Amino acid sequence: MDLILDIGTWISLLIGSFFLLVTGFGLLRFPDLYTRIHAGGMADTLATAIICFGLALQSGFTLISVKLLFVVIFVFLTSPTATYALAQAAFVAGLKPRLDGFEGPSEKPATNNDDD
Amino acid sequence: MRTLSLFFILLAVWLLLSGIYTPLIIGFGVLSCLIVVLIARRMDVLDKESFVFNLGPKLLTYWVWLFIEIVKANYDVAKCVFFPRKYLRPSLFSVKATQKDDLGKVIYANSITLTPGTVTVDLHEDTILVHGLTTGAAEGVKSGDMDRRVSDIMGKA
């Protein structure tokens, strides 16, 4: 039984870490601020939830699991507010989103990198 | 009524977070909850908006549905990170929020932001400006499925 729980924790932590890694890649690869916000959203949602689920498997039905659940709920309630504040601030400041698709990193959009 | 339920919710959170059940510590908990409730009453912050617990059990089914949507959207955004040339089609568009009160609009706008692939950029009156990462994510918001569900849980309150 312990072995199954350990394997479950391992899988959860690995999937969560994978999404954190993809978030990092996305933050580097996407062309402008608005698309990078989307990449950051992955770390806030699924990665947090899965990692906390994996940790809750180790603690079982205790108060620690309740606290982990609280952490997930608070992150889920606050992160969209912070994301909205960031996007709204960029929009009000007049930063135009690039809507022409993505031409690859070789294009060197030098002006866009200065904005964020 | 709201004051009383705020007190019991605070007390439940205290009991869950502390985990030490001696009379002294529980006494401290009751005391600090009372002080918080009294301050909240004096500041008059306990209006309809700050109290979402009367939305009822429909909120829970909505959260489950939203979580499944988040998992699907995470997969889409991860695909987009690895193959940006194929999937990355950023777009900016506005949708109508059909909720009547502010709380419903905020729940809807925050749900859009919480789902990776779509971010609420601006919320004005009942128009929501959304930035979408892929065409699929943009179509998902435009279809109005989420809007309908939020209106549904708000209709109960």
In this predicted structure, the answer to whether residue B50 has a pLDDT above a threshold of 70 is no
How many angstroms separate the CA of residue A10 from the nearest CA in chain B?
A: 19
C-beta atoms of B121 and A63 within 8 A: no
Pairwise CA distance, residues A56 & A63, whole Å: 10
- ipTM of the complex, rounded to two decimals: 0.78
C-beta atoms of B119 and A84 within 8 A: yes
How many angstroms separate the CA of residue A91 from the nearest CA in chain B?
A: 7
Q: What is the pLDDT of residues A40-93, one digit of tens each?
A: 888 888 899 999 999 999 888 888 888 899 899 889 888 988 988 988 898 888
In this predicted structure, the answer to whether residue B116 has a pLDDT above a threshold of 80 is yes
Pairwise CA distance, residues B11 & B32, whole Å: 9
Percent over 90 (pLDDT), chain A: 27
Q: Can you give the pTM of this predicted structure? A: 0.79
Residues of A in contact with B67 (CB under 8 A): 49
For residue A115, what pLDDT is reported? 43
Whether chain A has a CB inside 8 Å of the CB on B52: the answer is no
Higher-confidence position of B154 and B83: B83
The pLDDT-based confidence of B32 (bands split at 50, 70, 90) is very high
For residue B92, what pLDDT is reported? 85
DSSP calls for B22-80: -HHHHHHHHHHHHHHHHHHHHHT--SSTT--GGG-THHHHHHHHHHHHHHHHHHHHHHH
Pairwise CA distance, residues A9 & B39, whole Å: 43
Nearest to B119 among A19, A38, A77 (CB): A38
**Which of B22-31, B87-96, B122-131 ranks highest by mean pLDDT?**
B22-31
Of 3.30.365.10, 3.40.640.10, 3.30.1370.10, 1.20.140.10, which CATH number belongs to B55-156? 3.30.1370.10
How many angstroms separate the CA of residue A5 from the nearest CA in chain B?
A: 22
The pLDDT-based confidence of A96 (bands split at 50, 70, 90) is confident
Pairwise CA distance, residues B77 & A23, whole Å: 9
For residue A16, what pLDDT is reported? 92
The pLDDT-based confidence of B47 (bands split at 50, 70, 90) is confident
For residue A12, what pLDDT is reported? 93
Residues of A in contact with B77 (CB under 8 A): 26, 38-39, 41-42
In this predicted structure, the answer to whether residue B55 has a pLDDT above a threshold of 60 is yes
C-beta atoms of B80 and A26 within 8 A: yes
Residues of A in contact with B122 (CB under 8 A): 88, 91
Higher-confidence position of B8 and B52: B8
For residue B52, what pLDDT is reported? 63
C-beta atoms of A84 and B84 within 8 A: no
In this predicted structure, the answer to whether residue A104 has a pLDDT above a threshold of 50 is no
